[in-house]
């Protein structure tokens, strides 16, 4: 790659690879991948491919200086210590509800092909593991590439470095629906490939294999495009012939748990050759054997990623059965070489593409352990095993159903007709993957925090506050003092979440554009904070470490659609190992206007009450969602319940002692607005917003008590549910009804109310976030969510007798509380604590709400599975 002009004294992004050359099985140095074969040049320099797995290039502009290019994002932000414009910056204008974008990232270099040689190539499943590597190669070769993906197991991030390139197009589309495009070649890869994913929805997996293939073959027939389908070694089942050649018909259980994938691929092959014989479609069939490499989902249950992640994190490595079952593993570069060679050859018969080097699973685990230890020694970052010994152990668990005992390809046909054979040894590929694995730099546990509605308002303030607080070694929010509270808080103990060595924030939002803008702004706000601390000569080493290991990810979530919530949960499960916190902030109201006469009367008679719990909002009753539920109730209550239940096992996997779910209520969430169980979906009431917030409180408290009674398996994180509210914040929720001028007057009224003594007006979304961030970080011993009020003699500095674990308290003694953001008249924020109003009278309704939500969840789950 060309040398980049980086200012002197600024460190270049470090490559994880040693300077020693990579040699193939024959001892020949690997400088390029690909071949010049069948009139198609697929050669690409290895260093170029490696660069795609590292940090992207950024253009950094500094006032009064030349434009600089660098591989390091942090360098781009602080070239010569000055703040720089960097990456894809976006500015959101709330008044016009518009976003302006500036793209400052540099695309990887691609070959410049004449139009006569440039092909129009469609890649289905192009955002997945194999698909993204194929897309990289095709793009670097200079072709026009269109990616088709529904992002069930794929992710935009795998090909995001190509977004905006004139040769690249990405389309969100499910292949079970027809798609029209003009193309020359179709690589049909779309289908979940790991057991947890294809077994999650077995019917959908079969539909993808059959209907998706049918639609793509129909497209190939219409456009006269060459069609390649990626089949699998699973078509051989648990083989009785070893090794397996292409003429072997297989030994498959058609009704086993893996059959949805195995038989789906077999029928896809049948369909492919039906189109070939009947309609003359030019087809290719690649039977892929076990493949590994960068961008594998580290938590999808496949053996390579399992072993690498466990070894990197110092955990015992899990082998199923006695470990004598065998597999052969090929590195991703070899597979892509084979796919491109097959597509451009004249071979129409099925072709095995795999590595003939066979290992027992037990022996492979030992190899991975040795390689991880070697890389960590060389990097100077040895991981102390969690078992207390000198190295991780290999443990055994029962063998899954239908797991094949032997699997190794006979690749004679590939060698003869494609002149293809694997160049990478398994050991070489594993070392390459270990060096590129994010877990190699994230061995320490980190909070993974999901925030709904994070792209604006209080949700954005919560994310902002998390970053500012966790950039400090001892965050003030881990031990704030509460004032004017019926519960006395005590100085905080050290939180189990601190100190933070890294952080993953997940922004769960409906608007992806606003989420992108929020992500960029959050990075910018943290950088500005670190620059301010540096200017004040403060120690920013902890903040810099957080910034280096900070990830802000985006998932799509529309709470008004249960299908969207399930899809969001599936996306989270695919991309992250666990969840430590969920902040259920997103919410809305069916507001249709303002009763101006009443508004004037309330402001003149009691300003504080008028701007704290306004009675002049007009709400539309009877609004129904597309799922046939009360619209406000679904968005504010049930959608969040579905998300929590679908991700409960992810919360239980947290490496911390507790995982925390924070349910955002409102200062207006009171029982006086709740219409009763007869209108539990809040369709008839004229106060659906306020009632939904009280329903949220009842549901959260009932869930917390249910978790207290639930049995936990050893190693599971305790799951706690808390009720929080932000007080009154100055957001744009009413701007469409008040207009800009009146919204500014209302903001002024908030300040006046605060000066008059109202504690409920933090106003800024950053200050309004204190209740959420505090409850997320503070020790449970200090601030339990279920507390008793009978002991009025409790003194500051003394923990409540039952604070460490509410499960030791009698259920009749439970008094749920909610935590609110409050301020003094000068705007200093603190956490206020109040009992959940009307709990004794409504706790039975809470149990009924939980039961009905559970029944609805199960009904929608069955519907989604179909």
Comparing C-alpha atoms, which of 346, 469, 363 is closest to residue 417? 346
- Name the residue among 153, 118, 130 with its Cα closest to residue 229: 130
Would you say 302 and 234 are in contact if contact means Cβ atoms under 8 Å apart?
no
**N- to C-terminal Cα separation, the chain:** 49
What is the C-alpha separation between 337 and 818, in angstroms, rounded?
59
Pinpoint the alpha helices (H) of 420-456.
Answer: 426-436
Neighbours of 544 (CB within 10 A): 15
CA atoms within 13 A on the CB side of 9: 4
Asked if 706 contacts 850 with a C-beta cutoff of 8 angstroms, the reply is yes
Distance separating alpha carbons of residues 626 and 283, to the nearest angstrom: 42
Instruction: Find the radius of gyration of the CA atoms of the chain.
Output: 29
- Provide DSSP, 300-358: S--HHHHHHHHHHTTPPEEEETTS--EEE-EEHHHHHHHHHHHHTSS--SEEEE----E
Q: What is the token pair recorded at 516? A: 């992108």
**Cα 831 from Cα 731, distance rounded (Å):** 20
User: Which helix (H) or strand (E) element contains residue 90?
Assistant: strand 88-93
CB atoms within 10 A of CB 855: 10
- Say which residue the tokens 């207290």 belong to: 708
Per DSSP, the three-state class of 384 is coil
Q: What whole-number distance in Å separates Cα of residue 444 and Cα of residue 75?
A: 25
CA atoms of 849 and 762, how far apart (whole Å): 32
- Close Cβ partners of 414 (under 8 Å, ≥ 6 residues apart): 338, 342, 351, 352, 353, 420, 421
Q: Which residues are catalytic?
A: 261
Distance from C-alpha of 250 to C-alpha of 233, rounded to nearest angstrom: 9
- Cα–Cα distance measured from residue 304 to residue 319, given in angstroms and rounded to the nearest whole number: 11
Q: Are 289 and 246 in contact (CB under 8 A)?
A: no
Do β-strands 358-360 and 326-328 pair in parallel, antiparallel, or remain unpaired? Answer: antiparallel
Question: Three-state SS for 290?
Answer: coil
CA 619 vs. chain centroid, Å, equals: 34
């Amino acid at each position: 790659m060309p040398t980049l002009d980086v200012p002197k004294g600024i460190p270049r992004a470090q490559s994880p690879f040693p300077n020693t050359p990579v040699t193939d099985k024959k001892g020949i140095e690997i400088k390029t991948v690909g071949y010049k074969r069948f009139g198609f040049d697929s050669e690409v320099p290895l260093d170029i491919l490696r660069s795609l797995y590292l940090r992207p290039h950024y253009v950094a502009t500094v006032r009064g200086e030349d434009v600089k290019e660098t591989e390091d994002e942090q360098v781009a932000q602080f070239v010569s210590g000055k703040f720089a414009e960097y990456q894809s910056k976006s500015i959101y204008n709330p008044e016009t509800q518009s976003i302006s974008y500036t793209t400052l990232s540099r695309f990887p270099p691609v070959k410049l092909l004449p139009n006569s040689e440039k092909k129009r190539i469609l890649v289905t499943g192009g955002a997945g593991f194999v698909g993204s590597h194929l897309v990289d190669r095709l793009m670097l070769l200079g072709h026009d590439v269109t990616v088709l993906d529904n992002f069930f197991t794929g992710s935009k991030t795998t090909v995001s470095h190509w977004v905006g390139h004139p040769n690249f197009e990405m389309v969100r589309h499910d292949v079970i629906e027809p798609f029209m495009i003009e193309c020359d070649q179709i690589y049909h890869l779309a289908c979940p490939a790991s057991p947890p994913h294809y077994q999650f929805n077995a019917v959908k997996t079969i539909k993808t294999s059959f209907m998706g293939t049918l639609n793509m073959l129909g497209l190939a027939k219409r456009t006269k495009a060459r069609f390649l389908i990626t089949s699998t070694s699973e078509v051989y089942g648990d083989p009785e012939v070893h090794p397996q050649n292409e003429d072997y018909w297989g030994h498959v259980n058609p009704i086993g748990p893996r059959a949805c994938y195995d038989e789906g691929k077999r029928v896809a092959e049948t369909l492919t050759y039906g189109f070939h014989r009947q309609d003359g479609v030019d087809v290719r069939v690649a039977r892929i054997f076990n493949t590994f490499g960068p961008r594998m989902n580290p938590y999808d249950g496949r053996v390579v990623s399992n072993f690498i992640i466990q070894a990197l994190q110092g955990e015992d490595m899990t082998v199923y059965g006695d470990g004598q079952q065998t597999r052969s593993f090929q590195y991703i570069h070899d597979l892509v070489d084979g796919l491109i060679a097959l597509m451009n050859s004249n071979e129409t018969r099925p072709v095995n593409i795999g590595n003939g080097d066979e290992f027992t699973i037990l022996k492979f685990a030992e190899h991975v352990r040795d390689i991880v230890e070697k890389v960590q020694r060389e990097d100077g970052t040895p991981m102390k095993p969690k078992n207390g010994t000198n190295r991780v152990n290999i443990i055994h668990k029962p063998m899954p159903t239908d797991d094949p005992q032997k699997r190794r390809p006979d690749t004679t046909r590939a060698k003869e007709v494609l002149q293809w054979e694997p160049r990478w040894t398994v050991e070489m590929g594993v070392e390459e993957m270990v060096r590129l694995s994010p877990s190699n730099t994230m061995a320490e546990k980190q909070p993974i925090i999901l925030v709904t509605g994070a792209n604006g308002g209080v949700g954005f303030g919560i994310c902002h506050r998390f970053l500012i607080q966790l950039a400090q070694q001892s965050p003030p929010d881990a031990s704030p003092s509460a004032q004017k509270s019926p519960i006395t808080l005590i100085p905080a103990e050290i939180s189990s979440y601190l100190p933070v060595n890294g952080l993953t924030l997940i922004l769960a939002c409906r608007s992806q554009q606003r989420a992108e803008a929020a992500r960029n702004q959050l990075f910018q706000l943290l950088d500005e904070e670190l620059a301010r601390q540096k200017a004040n000569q403060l120690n920013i080493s902890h903040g810099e470490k957080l910034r280096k290991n900070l990830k802000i990810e985006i998932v799509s979530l529309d709470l008004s659609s249960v299908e969207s919530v399930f899809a969001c949960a599936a996306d989270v499960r695919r991309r992250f190992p666990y969840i430590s916190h969920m902040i259920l902030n997103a919410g809305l109201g069916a507001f249709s206007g303002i009763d101006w006469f009443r508004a004037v009367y309330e402001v003149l008679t009691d300003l504080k009450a008028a701007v704290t719990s306004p009675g002049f909002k007009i709400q539309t009753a009877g609004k129904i969602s597309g799922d046939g539920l009360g619209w406000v109730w679904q968005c504010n209550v049930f959608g969040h319940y579905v998300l929590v239940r679908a991700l409960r096992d992810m919360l239980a996997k947290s490496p911390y002692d507790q995982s925390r779910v924070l349910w955002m209520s409102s200062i207006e969430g009171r029982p006086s607005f709740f219409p009763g169980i007869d209108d539990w979906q809040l369709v008839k009431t004229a106060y659906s917003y306020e009632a939904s917030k009280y329903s949220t409180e009842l549901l959260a408290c009932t869930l917390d008590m249910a978790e207290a009674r639930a049995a936990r398996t050893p190693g599971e994180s305790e799951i706690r549910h808390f009720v929080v509210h932000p007080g009154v914040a100055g957001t744009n929720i009413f701007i469409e009804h008040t207009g800009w001028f009146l919204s500014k007057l209302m903001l002024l009224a908030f300040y006046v109310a605060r000066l008059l003594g109202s504690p409920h007006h933090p106003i800024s979304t950053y200050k309004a976030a204190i209740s959420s961030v505090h409850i997320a970080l503070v020790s449970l011993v200090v601030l339990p969510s279920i507390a008793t009020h009978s002991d009025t003699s409790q003194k500051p500095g003394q923990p409540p007798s039952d604070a460490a674990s509410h499960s030791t308290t009698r259920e009749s003694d439970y008094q749920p509380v909610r935590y609110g953001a409050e301020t003094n008249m000068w705007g200093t924020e603190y956490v206020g604590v109040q009992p959940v109003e009307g709990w004794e009278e409504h706790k039975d309704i809470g149990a009924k709400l939980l039961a009905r939500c559970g029944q609805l969840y199960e009904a929608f789950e069955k519907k989604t599975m179909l």
